[in-house]
């Protein structure tokens, strides 16, 4: 399946559309199978779908791992818009580091009471994107606002011989 790209739709709006469909499905499956099994099935399928989606998108961008990462984030930037507050620490040939100090995605999924769905749809995407550049690109993130932290800490490292 080809990736549909609509830059006129923000990621937050895309997640809202997805949640509108997924939450009733999750609730029905939870009632039938129990919460643990339903979450395992649905969230596992979403993880696989998201990973494949980002890998296919990454194939569209030529260049070194850093160039691919820069291209993906340049593409994604307008869709993030003002829905995340960035505090940039570093962005050079060796590393890209920032903290997210405000997150409307987390606000939305917390309000729905579906933090785990938010983690899978939003937060885990950063690791799938990083895989596009791996093994030359590595991401360390120890906390997220979605899961209750004061900020998200993103630390990408580029292996110097591969950037």
pLDDT tens figures, 128-140: 999 888 888 899 9
Q: Which of 115, 121, 120, 102 is nearest to 11 (CA)?
A: 121
**pLDDT score at 37:** 97
**pLDDT score at 163:** 46
Considering the chain, what is the average pLDDT of its residues?
A: 90
Report the CATH architecture of 11-162: 2-Layer Sandwich (3.30)
Residue 47 tokens, joined:
């993880």
Q: Which of 34, 16, 48 is nearest to 114 (CA)?
A: 16
What region, left, alpha or beta, does residue 5 occupy, with left being phi > 0 and alpha being psi -120 to 50 degrees? beta
Give the residue-averaged pLDDT of 26-44.
96
Which of the two residues, 21 and 64, has the higher pLDDT score?
A: 21
**pLDDT score at 97:** 96
**pLDDT over threshold 80, residue 83:** yes
- pTM here? 0.87
**pLDDT over threshold 80, residue 66:** no
> Under a CB-based contact definition with an 8 Å cutoff, are residues 103 and 145 in contact?
yes
Name the percent of the chain in helix, strand, coil, to the closest 5: 60, 15, 25
Torsion of CA 39, 29, 126, 142, to 10 degrees: -30
What residue ranges do the domains of the chain occupy?
A: 11-162
> Under a CB-based contact definition with an 8 Å cutoff, are residues 123 and 143 in contact?
no
Q: Which of 27, 79, 18 is nearest to 49 (CA)?
A: 18
**pLDDT over threshold 80, residue 51:** yes
**pLDDT score at 69:** 79
């Amino acid at each position: 399946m080809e990736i549909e790209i609509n830059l006129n739709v923000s990621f937050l709006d895309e997640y809202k559309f997805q949640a509108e469909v997924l939450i009733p499905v999750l609730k029905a499956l939870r009632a039938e199978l129990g919460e643990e099994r339903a979450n395992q099935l649905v969230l596992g399928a979403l993880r696989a779908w998201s990973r494949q989606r980002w890998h296919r998108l990454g194939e569209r961008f030529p260049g070194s791992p850093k160039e691919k990462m820069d291209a993906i984030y340049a593409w994604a930037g307008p869709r993030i818009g003002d829905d995340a507050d960035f505090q940039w620490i570093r962005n050079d040939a060796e590393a890209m580091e920032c903290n997210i100090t405000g997150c409307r995605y987390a606000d939305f999924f917390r309000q729905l009471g579906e933090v785990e769905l938010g983690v899978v749809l939003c937060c885990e995407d950063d690791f799938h994107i990083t895989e596009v550049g791996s093994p030359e690109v590595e991401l360390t993130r120890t906390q997220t606002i979605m899961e209750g932290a004061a900020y998200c800490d993103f630390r990408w490292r580029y292996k110097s011989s591969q950037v």
